Chain A
């Protein structure tokens, strides 16, 4: 039984009232009156009243409040101390940023305006714009996956619809709670800087799934089956694995050269993701180089660039159509290269159109009008030869530039170091009187006169040289062109005879002499023989003709991509129809653009670290039934039949499951899709705070 305190109670003394702030400090004998509210003793000046506990607490709270307020004011008023407000260090990706205003639009405002900024709804939008100053995420950066609404709708339409499976009640609630009208997200929806919480890019699987129509709980249990993974288009390089492995590599003629494993031809790219082909030299050259340079080729080894078309000279003469000097035995047709040039000349488009389908070697049934077109054609061909003779490669370059609007570097590749001496030899062999003709006939057409900046004196000089003595042609102010013309001419007459005798002994044709590649003359034609793989002349012409895509260029491209065309480029290098309708030649295999992010990513390199568990064929199994070659019959990359079977989801989930390797969405999928380049670093980044 607790005894009540009867000695003194608050009922008997003001001194002990619990509501009073002070209590008597006189322990010997407290008075009934007690101290006043200010802590003064009314009866004795010696008595020192004491604070009650609650007064002490109130006093401590007051002083703490004042101290805290002071500290806040000091921090906010000192520019150098603002860093104390930072919620932590930046992640390593952003550690170089020193100026808070680089990312925070409100930072440069007055401190008092921070309170106003805190209430602005646009603060997230403004700060997101600052993020996008460095991170280029396309035209719709705040859209889901950075995709345009149209693309999102298309993806949604194709999605496999399913009900939420074993999702938790929170998942179901979240799905119901998802604001379907909110189609845009600021960067900080997923990315928390200043090392707050998890890492900068952490996102949970549930967060990924919540927006998707196809709902599932984990990769290993109910992830939708892969569709044609990993092939979404045909290969760019036409290489039939099945026929090579089962037929060519076992052929006794090639078995010594055949690779012994996948890694001899394939290696991971710099990020370790895609497997790229080691390149022609290491993977293909041992068997296919001869095919390109034409060593074993039965037909002509070079591509016919210029030729003297064969004409029915007799019929022309009978009809009094004069074309001047023309070789009787010429029998070739106008090449696509020449057609391209001819169409630059006035009236020649019509001429070529009129003569289309007519056998120029038999003009017996041709009309007078057609014969006149033949005459125009012959004159124009002579103009080309004349132009080449007068200006060498320069004439060719001017023509290419006039018709294509391409730059100088590209045109250099397009002429393939055409030697002036070869043109001269060609012209002198078949049109020895061309220079004389040019003064009496209209061979030097207005096209030549206007397009070539050559003086009358110089032309006269060349004309004289051709007909009389070429050794005296050089003049003091001649350009390289003149030197080329003259350097060999001085000795031509005497040396030609010796050369002919020597050639007869060795019996090598001009084509064989050009085995290292380049230009050579073969009777009435000037041909170009590929110098090997990656021949710039053929590659440049194919790229140019495919990119321009007009009718003349298409004819040219068709000729270049003919399966029997020298170089056989199209045997391996497929072409795709672009969105604009033109053909794009695939010069390289699948080359990953490091800025390009697709929905799915796979690191081959990471899987190589599993010794004795996986090999290439664990996942990539040959589909011997596939009609791989048929996929290249058209130029659509989407119609194909892969050499390899599609990879099934169960192959991945055998390791990527709850018990073994992780199965998070972001292990295989990217959120940001499209081309994401890092833009120029803003100046503010390097400025002081």
Chain B
């Protein structure tokens, strides 16, 4: 099943679920039933289902089906529960501090979820466009290796060419560049300022033949560093958006409990 067919099928299924819910909701509303209760429990059930994905990830050893299936269910379940949420609040901004807090946490959870999906799709594609596959945890070591290589080239060039053009360039530009992951936003958004590679090219007109030979080696190392930085920026984002999404999901689940209690204890008037 191609990605497009899967997307179409899943969206169709979600739209059908939303249609059934909307129809039930409308008919219950017309027949003077408590639609808030209906939409509330559907929302609670769907939210709990979404939360189960987190548990599934925790207990990977349990035979609960393929993780990719869970992820797809989580994504489209999230879309469905977002619709139910807006129907539950009657497409209006909630009032009262508690309800506003609950509304915001749910809304932000959904929003970060959508943002995360968007990132997963976009950044994964960008990662696939990079030639190398780099494990995130190996990046510090890779950076250390590259820094050592760069320093070696600079030392050799300075000794062989009896010129400090590259050494000066190292001090001014490359020392900081190789100090750690750089240009996070440029790699994430493909926009930004001049790279060290551009600066190196500008410096080449001041170099002699020997230095130019070493500059060529240096260019390769800088390119490697750029790739590692890109991996770092993209992978860090992919991993860390969950730092917002998951805690918000926990908060939502927790706030739901007093919400349900209050609604039932005081909902008679």
B217 to chain A, nearest CB (A): 19
A68 to chain B, nearest CB (A): 5
Q: Is B138 an interface residue (CB 8 A)?
A: yes
- B144 contacts across to A, CB distance below 8 A: 27-29
Q: Is B131 an interface residue (CB 8 A)?
A: yes
The reply to whether B250 and A53 contact each other, CB–CB distance below 8 Å, is no
The reply to whether A27 and B265 contact each other, CB–CB distance below 8 Å, is no
Give residues of chain B (1-41) contacting chain A, Cβ–Cβ below 8 Å: 23, 26-34
> Among the listed A27, A115, A189, A195, which residue makes an inter-chain contact with B95, where contact means beta carbons less than 8 Å apart?
A195
- B27 contacts across to A, CB distance below 8 A: 170-171, 173-174, 177
Q: Give the residue name and chain of the A residue nearest to B244 (CB).
A: A60
The reply to whether B133 and A104 contact each other, CB–CB distance below 8 Å, is no
- B261 contacts across to A, CB distance below 8 A: 114-115, 118
A100-B266, A177-B28, A198-B90 known; 4 new pairs, CB 8 Å cut-off, are A2-B132, A86-B97, A115-B261, A206-B30
> Among the listed B98, B141, B268, which residue makes an inter-chain contact with A27, where contact means beta carbons less than 8 Å apart?
B141
Assembly CA distance A37 to B117 (angstroms): 31
CB < 8 Å A-B pair total = 188
The reply to whether A10 and B135 contact each other, CB–CB distance below 8 Å, is yes
- B29 contacts across to A, CB distance below 8 A: 174, 204, 207
A499 to chain B, nearest CB (A): 78
The reply to whether B95 and A88 contact each other, CB–CB distance below 8 Å, is yes
- B267 contacts across to A, CB distance below 8 A: 123-124, 188
Q: Is B63 an interface residue (CB 8 A)?
A: no
Give residues of chain B (216-269) contacting chain A, Cβ–Cβ below 8 Å: 239-240, 242-243, 246-251, 254-255, 258, 260-269
The reply to whether B269 and A85 contact each other, CB–CB distance below 8 Å, is no
The reply to whether B264 and A119 contact each other, CB–CB distance below 8 Å, is yes
B binding-site residues for A, Cβ under 8 Å: 23, 26-34, 90, 92, 94-99, 128, 130-138, 140-144, 239-240, 242-243, 246-251, 254-255, 258, 260-269
Indicate whether A210 sits within 8 Å of B135 (C-beta atoms), given known contacts A86-B96, A118-B264.
no
The reply to whether A107 and B266 contact each other, CB–CB distance below 8 Å, is yes
Assembly CA distance A237 to B237 (angstroms): 85
Assembly CA distance A207 to B258 (angstroms): 31
B29, B33, B34, B141 interface centre (most CB from chain A within 10 Å)? B141
> What are the 6 tightest A-B residue pairs by CB atom distance, in nearest-first order?
A88-B95, A127-B268, A118-B264, A27-B140, A174-B30, A53-B239
> Among the listed A15, A72, A86, which residue makes an inter-chain contact with B137, where contact means beta carbons less than 8 Å apart?
A15
- A179 contacts across to B, CB distance below 8 A: 31
Indicate whether A87 sits within 8 Å of B99 (C-beta atoms), given known contacts A123-B264, A210-B30.
yes
B28, B97, B260 interface centre (most CB from chain A within 10 Å)? B97
- B135 contacts across to A, CB distance below 8 A: 5, 8-10, 16
> Among the listed B94, B97, B130, B251, which residue makes an inter-chain contact with A68, where contact means beta carbons less than 8 Å apart?
B251
> Among the listed B23, B132, B268, which residue makes an inter-chain contact with A124, where contact means beta carbons less than 8 Å apart?
B268
> Among the listed B137, B258, B260, B264, which residue makes an inter-chain contact with A117, where contact means beta carbons less than 8 Å apart?
B264
- B141 contacts across to A, CB distance below 8 A: 7-8, 27-30
- A72 contacts across to B, CB distance below 8 A: 254-255, 258
The reply to whether B137 and A186 contact each other, CB–CB distance below 8 Å, is no
Q: Is A508 an interface residue (CB 8 A)?
A: no
The reply to whether A76 and B99 contact each other, CB–CB distance below 8 Å, is no
- B248 contacts across to A, CB distance below 8 A: 64
The reply to whether B243 and A103 contact each other, CB–CB distance below 8 Å, is no
The reply to whether A128 and B99 contact each other, CB–CB distance below 8 Å, is no
> Among the listed A29, A88, A126, A173, which residue makes an inter-chain contact with B268, where contact means beta carbons less than 8 Å apart?
A126
The reply to whether B247 and A61 contact each other, CB–CB distance below 8 Å, is yes
Q: Is A448 an interface residue (CB 8 A)?
A: no
Assembly CA distance A174 to B130 (angstroms): 57
- A130 contacts across to B, CB distance below 8 A: 269
B29, B138, B261, B265 interface centre (most CB from chain A within 10 Å)? B265
Q: Give the residue name and chain of the B residue nearest to A193 (CB).
A: B269
Assembly CA distance A100 to B268 (angstroms): 12
Q: Is A106 an interface residue (CB 8 A)?
A: yes
The reply to whether A197 and B90 contact each other, CB–CB distance below 8 Å, is yes
- B34 contacts across to A, CB distance below 8 A: 189
- A118 contacts across to B, CB distance below 8 A: 260-265
- B96 contacts across to A, CB distance below 8 A: 84-88, 194
Q: Is A3 an interface residue (CB 8 A)?
A: yes
Write the A20-57 contact mask toward B (1 if CB under 8 angstroms, else 0): 00010001111000000000000000000000111011
